Structure 1
Amino acid sequence: MAKKNKHVTIGSSLNKIESTVNKLKNNMSPPQLIMIIFFALIWIGAILLALPLSASDGKSIGLLDALFTATSAICVNGLVVVDTGSVFSTFGQVIIMILIQVGGLGFMTLGVMVAIILGKRIGLKQRLLIQQATNSTSAQGLVKLSLYIVLIAFAFEALATLVLTVRWQGDLGWGQALYYALFHSISAFNNAGFSLWTDSLSPFVGDPVVNLTIITLFISGGLGYIVIVDLFRKRSWKKLSLHSKIVIIGSSSLYLIGFIIIFLLENWNPSTFADLSYSERVWAALFQGTAPRSSGFNTIDIGSMLATSQFFIIILMFIGASSGGTGGGIKINTFVVLVLATIQTFRGGGQIHAFERKIAEETVMRALAVVMSSLAFVLGISILLSISEGILEKHFLDVLFEATSAFSTTGLSMGLTSELSIPGKIIVIFTMFAGRLGPLTLAFALAQKKRTSKIGYAEDHVLIG
């Protein structure tokens, strides 16, 4: 009888827990739920990476360094406090690879795949979560979009793995070449920037196959799944959505500008280009001019670049990739909208438009909010890092570079990451997390409820400029 009562007690307790969890889920907004799941995944990854099994020498790297690495992987950042190739065992590297894939594809996308395989129904709550996670403008066709996302990612990664395996097999052997190719393909497409080589991809600075493959991967991932699906479906410039056109034109322009400026500036720098042939300089400028848009890989030493080049890279990192892609930053579409609004203001005002389509005023205000909040966040983190790392008089560019890279989930560093103090690591972990979620998503997640003003005020004027 006592045994039966015990079972009843346990059963009622489990029911209460399940009821509480369901109540919390129902009361949470999609951004809040996304933030909590991301947080949980990071800690699961941290615990696994802190295991002695994950280290190459059989000794745990410590919970803080494991947490830093897990956050960097899930947030597809690429900043590392320990060398991925030498410090982690094969088990640890595979965990990092899985975390990158989950972080890049999005847990909701993978959840949709699992649900479909198990024959589960995708409800309205799940569709809203997918919409938030993929930055979609509509809740229609999201399940099909999730399937497209997985297929696109696996197709790009599989093809790149094949190409890189063939390229590296002469140096590494077929088995190791396949493993290295798979790791770098997943890392590149998801704009993570993790590498198994200590100096990233510097050994291949003039290699056309490696350069073109990696560049194609991180540009494709950075464009965003919505743009790739739009291109695949419509196959005509006129039929593309306004979002796709803005992303393609904006990204292409920045890639070209990045290549030209890095090539011209670094040709004056004996620390980076002096020992390179002309063709290697072209490849280095092409790679380093496009990589700051969120990939995190490098083929030349970032810390040895000219201060002007480093500051230019900070600007590229801050702008970042496209909404709905695997990259970070304020997003190229946000940047283009504000540029168009500025140009229209100089022309005397009126409708803000592009490609014969009007851009809503709400979109412009949202873009302004993203830029201002992101700028304030990066500057605030830079000040905190300056204090925590004792850099109060000089080398502020190193700190600004680190803060921007962490926030934009780029993963490039001038060398400060490996020297971070314990408070510095915690600050960067928080920055990577906030940068991946996005300033507006984080604000919406933390907001208690939406407040609508019931008072209408009289309009007045404020002097500007």
Structure 2
Amino acid sequence: MPRRRIQLNAVQTLALGFAALIVAGGVLLALPVSSRDGHALPFLDALFTAASASCVTGLVLYDTCTQFTLFGQAVILLLIQVGGMGFMTVSILVAVLLHRRIGLRQRSILMDSVGALQMGGIVRLTRRAIRVTLTCEGAGAALLALWFCPRYGVGRGLWMSLFHAVSSFCNAGFDLLGTGASLTSIAGEPLPNIVLMALVICGGLGFLVWDDLLTHGRHIRRWRLHSKIVVFATTLLFVGGAAAFYFLERDHAFAGAGPGRRALMAAFQSVTCRTAGFNTAPLTALSQSGTLLTMILMFIGAGSGSTGGGAKVNTVSVLLLSALAQVRRKEDVNVFRRRLDTATIQKAYSSVSIFFLACLAGTMVMCLQGISLDSALFEAISAVGTVGLTRGVTPYLPELSKLTVLLMMFAGRVGSMSVAMAVTRDRPQPKLRNIPEKILIG
């Protein structure tokens, strides 16, 4: 009797692809050649680091500069790049370079990988995404070299410039400053701060938005509705977040900083906590209000189809618009002279609900292992949102908590809802539907 061939859908293929990437990266980082002391890392620690890099999170158990050799740093950089662009995007790039035909199944998987709305033109969109990525990272590295090379020498300065450019555009949050305190040592430096912020924003917009920007330019009316929502909400969150941090932290994390430096630190904090993972202010010094604002921004995250994570700014926008329509007793949810379809709204509610439950589950596990509630919740949102900010508990996580955070990073990068769909069987829609009945809500 012939064996039944297992057919994987697009979501399952993506999930397994990322899992394979993490395992391969973990094996390489566990090699003695990857560590400066010549000793092999514990495999769980190496796997955790590989997951953090592949899922462009930035939570680390060891300082990247002082623990890893040039080989180990190169492995981390490669994992960040492939994880940020999506392994399927990289495989399509190889296929294009080798002039191989790209089938319907590959195009279907690619739709989920880059966040496209339709299969038509998906290869063109992927090529454009690759060009945008390389252009932004190249320009960012060149500008950062103007600051790094005079301070670290030409060779190391160029490597650090490239590493930080890729890490920023991919919203990864890994750094090579060797301080163990992210970018706090360069908090008052305008050039690297502004360049890193610009790269984080460019990577967090998403490739669909870049497609509209390059195709239609300033003709906003021709943009997709998705692009309009992402750009508007991103701008609002950036300006509002920066203003809030400026006033909330002037007597706390930004105490002693002049107005100019405080404004730069506030802007950086507003940008980076929406999935980038860098920080120029000590997070343990944040006020209670500033910590809560950071967690809210981490939860929201970047745009769908971008290198960033989180519940996604466009998804949260749909929820708020739907709630506003309900308050106004409107049957339709309208925005920018367009009506959102019911399926989109239902998917938004489901996605955010699963994301929220994943945060609570991770928080519960860490609390059971002795981590305080505020630090555990902060760490859980940071992991599922693939942000990478931490209040200092990551290097001291117990084994079970490490594994839990690893799984949350994986779910956050692939998509909490996508992971849930990947482990469930596809069932045909029943021809007969149950009788509807109302229940009380609210």
| Alignment partner, residue 344 of structure 1 | 325
Q: 2:291 aligns with which of 310, 321, 324?
A: 310
Distance 1:418 1:277 in 2: 32
Q: How many angstroms apart in 2 are the aligned matches of 1:464 and 1:225?
A: 38
Matched, 1:268 2:248: no
**Deviation of the 1:82 alpha carbon:** 0.7
**Which range moves more in the overlay, 427-436 or 274-283?**
274-283
Q: What is the identity, as a one-letter code, of the residue corresponding to 1:46?
A: G
Deviation of 1:275 after TM superposition, in Å, equals 2.7
User: Equivalent residue for 1:126?
Assistant: 106
Instruction: Give the 3-state SS of the residue equivalent to 1:402 in structure 2.
Output: helix
Alignment check: 8 A CA contact 2:34 2:71 kept: yes
Q: What does 1:168-207 align with in structure 2 at a 5 Å threshold?
A: 168-197=148-177, 198-207=180-189
User: Hey, what's the Cα distance between the residues in 2 that align with 1:273 and 1:331?
Assistant: 28
The equivalent of 1:422 in structure 2 is: 399
Corresponding letter in the other structure for 1:97: L
Q: Which amino acid aligns with 2:433?
A: G
Q: Which runs of 4+ in 1 moved over 2 A?
A: 453-461
Picking from 209, 234, 254, the partner of 2:237 is 254
Deviation at 1:450, TM superposition (A): 2.5
Distance 1:92 1:359 in 2: 46
**Aligned residue-pair number:** 438
Instruction: Decide whether the 8 Å contact of 2:319 with 2:345 is kept in 1.
Output: yes
Offset, 1:353: 1.1
| Partner of residue 126, structure 2 | 146
**For the Cα contact (< 8 Å) 2:355–2:417, is it kept in 1?**
no
Give, in angstroms, the shift of residue 461 of structure 1. Answer: 2.5
Match for 2:32: what amino acid?
A: P
**Superposed CA RMSD:** 1.3
Q: Secondary structure at the match of 1:238?
A: helix
Letter in 2 for 1:257: G
Structure 2 residue aligned with 1:412 = 389
Correspondence for 2:194: 212
Aligned pair 1:288/2:269, yes or no? Answer: yes
How far residue 245 of structure 1 moved from its aligned partner, in angstroms, is: 0.1
2:341 paired with 1:360: yes
Query: Within 2, Cα distance between the matches of 1:199 and 1:443?
Result: 35
- Return the alpha-carbon distance in structure 2 between the equivalents of residues 104 and 23 of structure 1: 31
Matches within 5 A, 1:381-400: 381-388=362-369, 390-391=370-371, 395-400=372-377
Tell me the distance in 2 between the aligned counterparts of 1:84 and 1:153: 23
Q: For the residues of structure 2 that align with 1:277 and 1:230, how far apart are their CA atoms?
A: 39
CA distance in 2, matches of 1:90, 1:161: 18
1:221 is aligned to 203
> Which whole-Å CA distance do the structure 1 matches of 2:380 and 2:195 have between them?
28
Higher alpha-carbon Rg: 1
Amino acid at match of 1:182: L
Which runs of 5 or more structure 1 residues have no equivalent in the other structure?
1-18
373, 378, 402: which is aligned to 2:354? Answer: 373
Mapped partners of 1:224, 1:246: distance in 2: 12
Q: Does 1:448 align with 2:399?
A: no
Which amino acid counterpart does residue 164 of structure 1 have in structure 2? Answer: L
Identical aligned residues as a percent? 37
User: 1:75 maps to what in 2?
Assistant: 55
Of residues 331-340 and 448-457 in structure 1, the stretch that sits farther from structure 2 once superposed is 448-457
- The whole-number CA distance in structure 1 between the counterparts of 2:420 and 2:39 is 39
Q: Tell me, in whole angstroms, the C-alpha distance in 2 between the residues paired with 1:464 and 1:30.
A: 35
2:107 and 2:122 in contact (8 A); partners too: yes
Could you tell me the TM-score, scaled by structure 1's length?
0.92
- Distance in structure 2 (CA, Å) of the matches to 1:407 and 1:324: 16
Q: Is the 8 A contact 2:249 2:255 kept in 1?
A: no
> C-alpha separation between the residues in 2 aligned to 1:248 and 1:158?
23
CA distance in 1, matches of 2:254, 2:230: 31
2:413 counterpart of 1:436 = yes
Is the aligned partner of 1:166 residue 2:146? yes
CA distance in 2, matches of 1:318, 1:108: 26
Alpha-carbon displacement from aligned partner over 1:53-77 (angstroms, at most 9, x marks no partner): 0001111122111000000000000
- Consecutive unaligned residues of structure 2, counting only runs of 5 or more, are none
In the alignment, which of 301, 304, 310 is matched to residue 320 of structure 1?
301
Q: Distance in 2 between matches of 1:381 and 1:87?
A: 27
Q: C-alpha separation between the residues in 1 aligned to 2:182 and 2:130?
A: 27
1:308 Cα deviation after fit? 1.6
